Amino acid sequence: MKKIIILAAVSLFGLAFSAAQADENTIKESIAKSMPTMKVDTIKPSEVKGLYEISVGSNVFYVSDDGKYLIEGHLIDIAAKKDLTEGKLSESHVKAIKNLGVDKMIVFKAKDSKYTVTIFTDIDCGYCRKLHSEIDSYLAEGITVQYIFFPRSGKDTESYKKAISVWCADDRKTALTAAKKGETLKEKTCANPVDEHMKLAAEFEVNGTPTIVSEKGVVYPGYLPAKQLVEMLKGENEPK
């Protein structure tokens, strides 16, 4: 009898696995046909029956098991009062920043670093300039700042060219500080990650600058003074 129960359990698991695999294949085929430019990284069952979670770059979407409907939005566990999507987005943000790598960022490292934030910045953005003018206060709070360029005016604009000139300067940190003060830099070109930065900004759905991303992948849109930011970062590490 025990052997029969085990065999039945294995058979049911196999059927469930086959059904899930069939659903995944249906979803892949549907997306490939309807949205051929969408590159799906992962597909897996969501917490809701009949709904699959797909990750696309730094974004999370939901698709019905028949591949007919795609939902853009957050999945909320009403009973637990918990945003199930937010945590997954944060995880994807952390992964995306890690994949870019610090060698493709301009880093202002705190002497006694307790936190690290990655900031999408635009050289010609007023609040970006304000934030950078206070860089010493962030460093004093133990916040290491990693800059990623997001010239909001788009590719081949003055802001875009300034970002490249900063990257190609002999001393990037000094050049960035000078540029944010409004000083004119010598225009330079070289191999640079600015296009990668802008692609990442699109994946993160960055609409304005500065946009601050914590080590845990939490996104804070807009300028935050150092004292306020450090309190937010402390809060992320407190038990929920």
Q: What is the dihedral of CA 212, 222, 203, 67, to 10 degrees?
A: 120
Residue ranges of E strands in 123-210: 143-149
- 168 among known catalytic residues: no
Distance CA 189, CA 192 (A): 8
Q: 48: which 2 tokens?
A: 């809701």
> What is the 3-state composition of the chain as percent helix, strand, coil, each rounded to the nearest 5?
45, 20, 35
Q: Which residue among the candidates 65, 122, 124, 129 is catalytic per the annotation?
A: 122
**126-to-96, 131, 166, 187 alpha-carbon distances in Å:** 27, 9, 18, 21
- 125 among known catalytic residues: yes
Q: Which residue among the candidates 23, 65, 124, 128 is catalytic per the annotation?
A: 128
- 111, 139 in Cβ contact below 8 A? yes
CA atoms within 13 A on the CB side of 3: 0
Distance CA 205, CA 207 (A): 6
Q: Which residue among the candidates 23, 65, 124, 152 is catalytic per the annotation?
A: 152
Q: Which residue among the candidates 23, 65, 124, 125 is catalytic per the annotation?
A: 125
Identify any residues that bridge with 59 across adjacent strands, giving them in sequence order.
Answer: 56
- 49, 40 in Cβ contact below 8 A? no
For the annotated catalytic residues, the residue numbers are 122, 125, 128, 152
